[in-house]
Amino acid sequence: MKKISLSLFVTLVSFALWAQENSNEDYTEPTKPEATEIWSPKPPTVTPGQNGAPPSDAIVLFDGTNFNEWVSPRDSSEVKWTLNKDGSMTVKLGRGVGDIQTKRNFGDVQLHIEWKSPEKIVGDGQNRGNSGVIIQKLYEVQVLDNNDNETYVNGQVGSVYKQSIPLAKASVPTGEWNTYDIIYHAPVFGMYGDVVKKATMTVLHNGVLIQDHFELIGPMTFIGWPKYKPHGKAPLLLQNHNSEVSYRNIWVREL
Amino acid sequence: MKKISLSLFVTLVSFALWAQENSNEDYTEPTKPEATEIWSPKPPTVTPGQNGAPPSDAIVLFDGTNFNEWVSPRDSSEVKWTLNKDGSMTVKLGRGVGDIQTKRNFGDVQLHIEWKSPEKIVGDGQNRGNSGVIIQKLYEVQVLDNNDNETYVNGQVGSVYKQSIPLAKASVPTGEWNTYDIIYHAPVFGMYGDVVKKATMTVLHNGVLIQDHFELIGPMTFIGWPKYKPHGKAPLLLQNHNSEVSYRNIWVREL
Amino acid sequence: MKKISLSLFVTLVSFALWAQENSNEDYTEPTKPEATEIWSPKPPTVTPGQNGAPPSDAIVLFDGTNFNEWVSPRDSSEVKWTLNKDGSMTVKLGRGVGDIQTKRNFGDVQLHIEWKSPEKIVGDGQNRGNSGVIIQKLYEVQVLDNNDNETYVNGQVGSVYKQSIPLAKASVPTGEWNTYDIIYHAPVFGMYGDVVKKATMTVLHNGVLIQDHFELIGPMTFIGWPKYKPHGKAPLLLQNHNSEVSYRNIWVREL
Amino acid sequence: MKKISLSLFVTLVSFALWAQENSNEDYTEPTKPEATEIWSPKPPTVTPGQNGAPPSDAIVLFDGTNFNEWVSPRDSSEVKWTLNKDGSMTVKLGRGVGDIQTKRNFGDVQLHIEWKSPEKIVGDGQNRGNSGVIIQKLYEVQVLDNNDNETYVNGQVGSVYKQSIPLAKASVPTGEWNTYDIIYHAPVFGMYGDVVKKATMTVLHNGVLIQDHFELIGPMTFIGWPKYKPHGKAPLLLQNHNSEVSYRNIWVREL
């Protein structure tokens, strides 16, 4: 049973040592400004990107040139989606194509991803421009062409599918590029496989806050109730839901 | 600034080491009964008392024979209350007598205490048989002769004074002995003097649950709002509120 | 899906109305003692019992005279345990006898129960004087003759079986009467069958605190991990574990 | 004492009514996908902006053309800062200029703000390009020219001043425009002026997560410990710290 990572281990020991060092019975409030200054350790310096471009410490999962970071989930074979000349990729329809997932496993992340519904409108409700950003292959932020297209609100664009209605519908017109900026924390499991801390998700859709530190009930579930099962780090999956949705500019920062 | 005690330090390091040792990516539920048995460390063996008598690991604060564990709070002088022949003590009225408090300081405790309102009824409302069990000299469980005597309910017998109305009024007739069995956890303060964890109190009055894991708002406050201030271990205080209330059989177990 | 009880409904509406009435932008701390007095509603008056005897508002589940409050769980037939002349009952061994459970269903309760291991010592480990107080037929406080008898500590007397090691072993000598005083809060489930609030248990064993507001991981599980499943009120069950354990003086107060 | 807003009142009553309506003892997991679809109420539709431009439901606090939304805090007189031709404003040095604050009061908000350190470098440490985004006039996100300029890390750019070290230093080169995207929840106070829920802050600095749902200890405090005091909605304040820091494109969405 995995309890904690090495970094948490180091943190705990450091904290314990530091706390011990500073342990005395003095509860006097400091009276000088210097007493509440902390000088170390220094946070890392990161060079930011512009307009959604990856910052210097990001892992770039898709920059438009190749599928090197991705595989087919079923058999770990090569990705069968379409690589477009404009630096994007598109879900390919047809038998045996399926979803794609990252080769790497992730825990807590800041994730940036851009997606576009097909310009040619096909179907309605959940059958129009449907895909999904499925973090750790379990926790889905819905991708859907919801423009002039009604569906259940806990399954609409930007929902945590069947768990959390988005605060707003903030899509751009069909055929234009949307952004999702996601702050995700993985669930923490205890020694009994129990949930010590639920997963949380904050989502900005085109810069508009639509999920506000939502505590997930469990994994995405189409029928019935979401129920957590203990797991470790896991891939990011993009869903093939029989709609030619496109993606581009995908990067994560490990938190 | 005190952060943690030595025992917490040891606990943290032990936990970190243990967690590290057990850290692997195996989240498989065990399938044998033996896999979920824990054999050590063994909890201590305690010989219980009968009918409120102190268990073997208790610190006896008053057994009726002397005031050795107590002092006057103002000047640490000898206790001026009355030591009775029946193994109890009684608040003494008059100038300069005041409250009494333990010489020892306490944090988290299980506390047993017995009290009796004066048989001769004097005054009404808050002026009849008023005293108080004030844990850490800050957090008061009200003692009052409330029989046929109305007062504000957040100040009635068994209230956490001016914070928590008791779930029931469970007093015995005036002049008979009441018991309070209290489970108390001290507040935990952070490095900014902030409250990381509020104090909690569970109280059984004559065996009836009257405070149910109540999270205290702050210290007892007669006027205005209770506001926590960081502090360490502190004495138990019994209040002299100008009523001849009696006490007996007082013991604590440190938690 | 049950969300809340009628009483919670009334509480919520009352709170909302009260809060609305008192809603203004005044955050000024009051300066008179009267401003922080609350005069209603008044808590109920309860006449306490002595030495574990039931208070006036208790539901007496067993007073030694009959099995009126109990049935056999398998087929709701009559209880087959032994009713003793001294006001106690004893587990009967043999095929088809089994456990017993209350006819009534309970949620949050204060529970008093007394139990006695057989004077004649038979077996060892989990096979000596084993029984269990199983609240809501799911959450077990272990009953065991642990005197000079070792077992795994998360299964010893006073454990929340396979979940929480007791803080102390506070048994009386084998053949004498033990008391358990339990404060139990049922788990609260959300609309997805998820756990909104875990069950909690505080246990005094012969007056010694052995479980301190423990948050249960889930139901009692012999093999594997405890996992909550949503449920409503449910009976109290006493376990037949092939040991002639006796019980007496059982009462609950609904919280 | 303010307890809850009208909207919370309506929410509570609605919840109570809804819960009551749905109250039954059925804890059966649904077996059809339709059973877990929610169709109303529909979230609002918001037209997003591009590259930090305000979405359709934002309150624009500064678009570069005027100071209509701002006043001087001391005397509510006109703002004395400089309005630049490029659509930005700049702190003006000199006696009697001071800070500026919004005329409107805010509670929970999503806030977008852009800021620039002076190209001409003056001073060092806390004296170089220092300003601050002070939400509710109490809770500060530090603005500082930290490039090649060391200071205490809990006072560096992007810190919650003297409370939370940023996860990264993500500044652009001095003289270029930085963005802060902030998700802020105001503290919630109880009937005793106590903190029922701490304020929280999430901050993206140029798209990089630097504050991750941080729970504030209290208001910004230069000397000593931050201590909450109950308050209602309050203005946004921009600090004049004797550095010619510039701001532009400021908008909020009320949450």
pLDDT digits (tens, 9 = 90+) for B210-247: 999 999 999 999 999 999 999 999 999 999 999 999 99
Assess whether pLDDT exceeds 90 at residue C20: no
pLDDT at A73 over 80: yes
Summary mean pLDDT of chain A: 92
Q: Which residues contact C180 (CB under 8 A, 6 or more apart)?
A: C111, C112, C113, C114, C115, C133, C141, C158, C203, C204, C205
- Go through A37-57 and write b for each residue having 16 or more CB atoms within 10 A of its CB, e for each that does not: eeeeeebeebbbbeebebbeb
Q: Does A27 have pLDDT greater than 90? A: no
With cut-offs at 50, 70 and 90, classify the pLDDT of residue D151: very high
| Closest residue on chain B to C224 (Cα) | B30
Two tokens, residue A123: 């179907």
Nearest-neighbour CA in chain A from C197: distance (Å): 12
Q: Is the pLDDT of residue C2 over 50?
A: no
Is B217 within 8 Å of D194 when comparing Cβ atoms?
A: yes
Q: Which among A140, A136, A152, A139 is positioned nearest to A235, based on CA atoms? A: A136
Residues of chain D with Cβ-Cβ distance to A214 below 8 Å are none
Average pLDDT of the residues in D103-116: 98
- Per-residue confidence (pLDDT) for residue C25, from 0 to 100: 53
What pLDDT is attached to residue B2? 42
Select the residue of C190, C192, C225 nearest A192 (Cβ to Cβ): C225
* Amino acid making up residue D89: M
Mean of all residue pLDDT scores within chain D:
92
Beta-carbon count within 10 A of A36 CB: 21
> Would you call D14 helix, strand, or coil by DSSP?
helix
> Parallel, antiparallel, or unpaired: how do β-strands C208-215 and C59-62 relate?
unpaired
Low-confidence ranges of chain B (pLDDT < 70): 1-26
> Which two three-digit tokens encode residue A173?
């017109």
pLDDT at D51: 86
Residue D12 has pLDDT above 80, yes or no: no
For residue C181, list chain B residues with Cβ-Cβ distance below 8 A.
204, 207
What is the model's pLDDT at position B1?
A: 36
pLDDT for residue A242 is more than 70: yes
Distance of alpha carbon C158 from alpha carbon C201, whole angstroms: 11
Measured in Å, how far apart are chain D's first and last C-alpha atoms?
23
Kindly identify which residue of chain A lies nearest to residue B10, measuring between CA atoms.
A16
pLDDT tier at A101, thresholds 50, 70, 90: very high
Residue A48 sits at the chain D interface (C-beta within 8 Å):
yes
pLDDT for C141 beyond 80: yes
Share of chain A above pLDDT 90, in %: 87
**Among the listed residues A104, A10, A100, the one whose alpha carbon sits nearest the alpha carbon of residue A58:** A104
Mean pLDDT computed over C146-163: 98
Question: B178 to chain C: nearest residue by CA?
Answer: C48
For chain D, how big is the Rg over CA atoms in Å?
21
Q: Which of D5, D7, D23, D36 to mutate: most C Cβ within 10 Å?
A: D23
- CA-to-CA dists, residue D151 to B253, C96, D47, D148, D219, angstroms: 49, 77, 41, 10, 21
The partner residue sitting opposite B208, judged by closest CB among C31, C48, C171, is: C48
Closest Cα in chain B, distance from residue D192 (Å)? 5
| Mean pLDDT of the C197-219 span | 98
CA quadruple C168, C173, C175, C176: dihedral sign: negative
Position A217, amino acid? I
Q: Is A193 near chain B, with CB under 8 Å?
A: yes
Q: Is the pLDDT of residue C4 over 60?
A: no
Closest chain D residue to A112 measured between Cα atoms?
Answer: D207
Spell out which residues of chain D touch residue C24, defining contact as CB-CB under 8 Å.
Answer: 1-2
- Which residues sit opposite A115 in a β-bridge? A178, A247
Contact A129, A117 (CB under 8 A): yes
Given a cut of 60, whether residue A166 has pLDDT beyond it is: yes
- Residue D12 structure tokens: 């509570």
Q: Is B39 on the interface with D (CB under 8 A)?
A: no
> What's the number of CA atoms in the CB half-sphere (13 Å) around residue A234?
17
| CA–CA min distance D228, chain B (Å) | 9
Over chain B, what HEC string results?
CCCCCHHHHHHHHHHHHHHHHCCCCCCCCCCCHHHHCCCCCCCCECCCCCCCCCCCCCEEEECCCCCCCEECCCCCCCCCCEECCCCCEECCCCCCCCCEEECCCECCEEEEEEEECCCCCCCCHHHCCCEEEEECCCEEEEECCCCCCCCCHHHCCCCECCCECCCCECCCCCCCEEEEEEEEECCEECCCCCEEECCEEEEEECCEEEEEEEECCCCCCCCCCCCCCCCCCECCEECCCCCCCEEEEEEEEEC
Between D4 and D56, the more confident residue is D56
C-alpha–C-alpha distance, residues D155 and D158, integer Å: 8
pLDDT at position A188 is 96
Over residues D30-76, the pLDDT tens digits come to 999 999 999 999 999 999 998 889 999 999 999 999 999 999 999 99
Q: Identify whether the C-beta of residue B86 lies closer than 8 Å to the C-beta of residue B102.
A: no
This prediction has a pTM of 0.92
- Record: contact A1-B232, CB cut-off 8 A: no
- Mean pLDDT check: name the lowest of B1-5, B15-19, C55-59, D170-174: B1-5
Position B27 scores a pLDDT of: 80
D24 or C45, greater pLDDT: C45
- Quick one: pLDDT band at residue C51, thresholds 50, 70, 90? confident
* Residue of B204, B157, B160 lying closest to B179 (CA atoms): B204
What integer pLDDT is reported at residue A30 of this predicted model?
Answer: 94
- Cis preceding-peptide flag for D54 (omega within 30 of 0): no
What does the H/E/C string look like for D200-255? EEEEEECCEEEEEEEECCCCCCCCCCCCCCCCCCECCEECCCCCCCEEEEEEEEEC
Say yes or no to pLDDT of D174 above 50. Answer: yes
Residue B216 Cα, gap to closest chain A Cα (Å): 20
- The band of A51, judged by pLDDT with boundaries at 50, 70 and 90, is confident
Cβ neighbours of C228 in D, within 8 Å = none
Residue C179: pLDDT over 70: yes
Asked if A226 and C190 come within 8 Å (Cβ–Cβ), the reply is no
pLDDT score for D3: 43
Greatest Cα-to-Cα distance within chain A, rounded to the nearest angstrom: 71
Chains touching chain B through at least 3 C-beta pairs below 8 angstroms are A, C, D
Q: Which pLDDT value is given to residue A21? A: 54
CA distances from B49 to A1, B56, B67, C57, D43 (A): 41, 7, 22, 27, 62
B29 touches chain A (CB under 8 A): yes
Listed residue (B255, B247, B254, B253) closest to B83, CA to CA: B247
- In the prediction, which pLDDT does B51 show? 86
Contacts of C17 (CB under 8 A, 6+ apart): none
Q: CA gyration radius for chain A?
A: 21
